[in-house]
A and B are shown apart, each in its own frame.
Chain A
Amino acid sequence: MFKTVIRRAGKCAAVAAASLMMMSAQAADPIKIGSFLSVTGPASFLGDPELKTLEMYVEKINEEGGVLGRQLELIHYDDVGNASSARNFASRLIRSDQVDIIVGGSTTGATMAAVPLVEQAQVPFISLAGAVVITNPVKKWVFKTPQTDRMAAERILADMKDRGITKFGLISGTGGFGSSGRTQTLEVAEQMGMEVVADETYSGSDTDMTAQLTNIRNTSGVQAVLNFGFGQGPAIVTRNYAQLGMELPFYQSHGVASDSFLELAGSSAEGLRLPASPLLVPDSLPDDDPQKEVVQNYKAEYEARWDSKVSTFGAYAYDGLMLAVRAMEEAGSTDPEAVRNALENINGYVGVTGVFNMSPEDHNGLDPESFRILEVQNGEWKLIN
């Protein structure tokens, strides 16, 4: 008994001594990466994979020797999907934790709540949320990794045009995602000389959209249907669409680009198209696609570490972290101004979401082509272009 205690104490001492030596070897303070994410609450499907991704890659980078010879330290808070707590946590990250850069903000609401603080404190901030307002107009210290809903609309409408479609019916959810998507679609359609001949909506809790779809079907001249929405609504629309026997080409938005949508919609989803991250089809990407390796690696590493399916949202965090690391390496320091300038000049960074080319006018750096158009064939995603 006594012996084991001694032996354990000896082991502890050895471990402590070893870690002390390691610490003295890296005398420099760690680089602090701050994050506030919606890890629990209604937006946990965003924040949960994002946090897992950040934790896992900070660990990995540290094992490989860190950045600029310094270790990374991740400081994160859970904003529960609440914009006002996001603001509080952003302020804590800046004032008391004094982080070098912030990578976070799962939702547009949380991001926009933190933006004024970040701008005032002059800390580089890479957001993981979707809406176009985050980087348009450009804010000096704010960047973001996901594509905007406008790009999704551009990509879908371009694909329609390729198929000779100029008049289509739109059905969208009345939630934030759907209504923003609707506005962007109407604007893009006008620019591209296309016509939205039917414009229907449904609310997030609706359980049957047959009436709206019947209206679209009875509109003369409609050649295709686009559904912009999020959650279970689009799956119900898809099912109703099949029940009504509608045969027009059918499009969904990137809001439902996940395997769980396929599960909900079942065989009704056959033949529909949507814009999505290449992460859904890592193996069908052509070999000369620069993203192929990055996408495959991320998927393999994430699934091996967490034993759960990789998600597009986690990839936004991956790109955010890697952009931050690259900017610090290029700046050669963690000086906020230098890192910000380096971020703004990042060119040709190949991420999971797309290839980023930042500029002073574009703090997102992606183009619509970073979305791949996928079609559902035999219950699986198939890469179209």
Chain B
Amino acid sequence: MLAEFLQYLFTGITIGATYALIALGFTLIYNASHVINFAQGEFLMIGGMATVSLTAMGVPMILAVVLAVILAGILGIALQRFAIAPAKQADVVTLIIITIGASIFIRGIAQIVWGKEYHVMQNFSTDQPIEVFGAVLNSQSLWVLGIGAILVVGLVLFFTKTLIGKAILATSMNKEAARLVGIRTQMVLMLAFMVSALLGSVAGIVVAPITFTSYDIGIILGLKGFVAAAIGGLGSGVGAVVGGLSLGIVEAMAAGYISSDYKDAVAFSMILLVLFFMPRGLFGAKVVERV
């Protein structure tokens, strides 16, 4: 009984940690610009695919990872510069549609460059699974959790201790006021896209040995990440982490105890319930309308 439960829990936490990282990327950009960036999943794909193709070309793993993350960062900046910035006066809805277009574009390019096959990435450390009370844990899951935790702590420090982080926070709270005190809000927006691209690509790289990677992996993982962000309350960092983990765990438990057929149904009814009773998500900010 315990072994079974632990097994489902491990599965859930691993995939949940990935969802959480993607959700954090959504949150960052949402905070800075109120745009929901549907190209978030593509950053994840770029991270995984670039690492795989670079290692296939003989680049050492660590260097490949760094290069892939940099590539994703540049892509994030380019997305903001060339797709979002030119439409700066447009509605938020228009901007969201632009990100959908951008994601289709990036996916198309990736398909031409890397082809349509699935690719494997080696585990970072041993292939040997770890046994805990009768349940087995893929060693890669520890990497996902560890790196996820480091990134979350890093983000918290970035936002509370550095001037740039505080500038992003300030912009998200009040764009006009931030500009008045001398913050270059366009710059901040670009930074937000870059950081969220970095987050996404790292998530894509650590999870690739478990899920494989291909040009279209970003669609479904990106969507699940968005669901996680919505459950947690768009815009809340804690919410993104809690939302991601709980979505992953609920999915795994549903697949294990109820039936794999209802797994996605259970996950999606969870959002309905959360949003029904707490329309701003679990940790969403209370919005006070000033008159």
Chain A residues near B (Cβ < 8 Å): 44-45, 174, 200-203, 205-208, 210-212, 214-215, 218, 231-232, 235-236, 243-245, 260, 263-264, 266-267
Q: Which residue of B lies closest to A207 (CB)?
A: B211
- In the assembled complex, which residues on chain B have CB atoms less than 8 Å from the CB atom of A263? 120
* Contact digits for B202-232, partner A, Cβ 8 Å, 1 yes 0 no: 0000010011101000011100000000000
A267 touches B127 (CB 8 A): yes
Chain B interface size, as a band, is 20 to 34
Known: A201-B261, A210-B7. 13 other contacts (CB 8 A): A200-B260, A201-B259, A202-B255, A205-B220, A207-B211, A210-B11, A211-B11, A214-B7, A218-B4, A232-B212, A243-B138, A260-B117, A264-B212
Q: Once bound together, how far apart are the Cα atoms of A267 and B127, in whole Å?
A: 10
- In the assembled complex, which residues on chain B have CB atoms less than 8 Å from the CB atom of A260? 117-118
Tell whether B171 is near chain A: CB-to-CB under 8 Å.
Answer: no
- In the assembled complex, which residues on chain A have CB atoms less than 8 Å from the CB atom of B261? 174, 201
Residue from B116, B211, B221, B255 whose CB has the most chain A CB atoms within 10 Å: B255
Q: Once bound together, how far apart are the Cα atoms of A263 and B207, in whole Å?
A: 18
A214 touches B15 (CB 8 A): no
15 CB contacts below 8 A, A to B, read: A202-B255, A207-B15, A207-B221, A208-B14, A208-B15, A208-B252, A210-B7, A210-B10, A211-B11, A212-B256, A244-B7, A245-B129, A264-B120, A266-B120, A267-B127
> A207 is contacted by which of B7, B116, B210 (Cβ under 8 Å)?
B210
* Contact digits for B1-24, partner A, Cβ 8 Å, 1 yes 0 no: 000100110110011000000000
If A203-B264, A207-B210, A264-B212 touch, does A44 touch B255 (CB 8 Å cutoff)? no
- In the assembled complex, which residues on chain B have CB atoms less than 8 Å from the CB atom of A235? 118, 212
* Contact digits for B136-153, partner A, Cβ 8 Å, 1 yes 0 no: 101000000000000000
Q: Which residue of A lies closest to B219 (CB)?
A: A205
State how many angstroms separate the Cβ of A18 from the closest Cβ of chain B. Answer: 41
> B255 is contacted by which of A45, A212, A264 (Cβ under 8 Å)?
A212
State how many angstroms separate the Cβ of B146 from the closest Cβ of chain A. Answer: 18
Q: Which residue of B lies closest to A205 (CB)?
A: B220
State how many angstroms separate the Cβ of B247 from the closest Cβ of chain A. Answer: 13
Within 8 A of A (CB), among B78-112: none
Within 8 A of A (CB), among B115-135: 116-118, 120, 127, 129
Q: Once bound together, how far apart are the Cα atoms of A208 and B212, in whole Å?
A: 11
